Copies of this chain bind each other. A is one copy, B any other.
């Protein structure tokens, strides 16, 4: 009897999350590999192939998707060098650098409290 919904509750509800600063923050960090990438780039900027080698268990597609999302959200700066073969460097933005001490606290919290 009921027809197909023309609007997705999933998408509508996403707005609730994006409107709140806290849920927004966790939202843009929630991709499966984003924090590991962030942590790696804390040390130095790296090119795509270096990250790929570092995280050999992450599929190339996923690496691309996560990097794109992070760039879109202002966490990473992407620099393309017009060479052949291409070279692309990724580095943290100021915004991401400001985030790192908070993530350190989170990490400490988890270490102290998580169930073994």
Contact = CB atoms under 8 A, between A and B. Distances in A.
A73 B25 contact: no
Interface residues of A, number: 37
B114 A109 contact: no
A63 interface: no
B102 A21 contact: no
20 contacts: A13-B57, A13-B58, A16-B57, A21-B108, A21-B110, A22-B35, A22-B39, A22-B110, A23-B36, A25-B109, A26-B26, A26-B29, A26-B30, A26-B106, A73-B115, A95-B113, A98-B112, A99-B109, A102-B105, A102-B106
Interface of A: 12-13, 16-17, 20-26, 29-30, 32, 35-36, 39, 57-58, 73-74, 95, 98-99, 102-103, 105-115
Given A22-B103, A74-B113, A106-B106, 7 more contacts: A13-B57, A16-B57, A23-B35, A25-B110, A95-B113, A99-B109, A105-B105
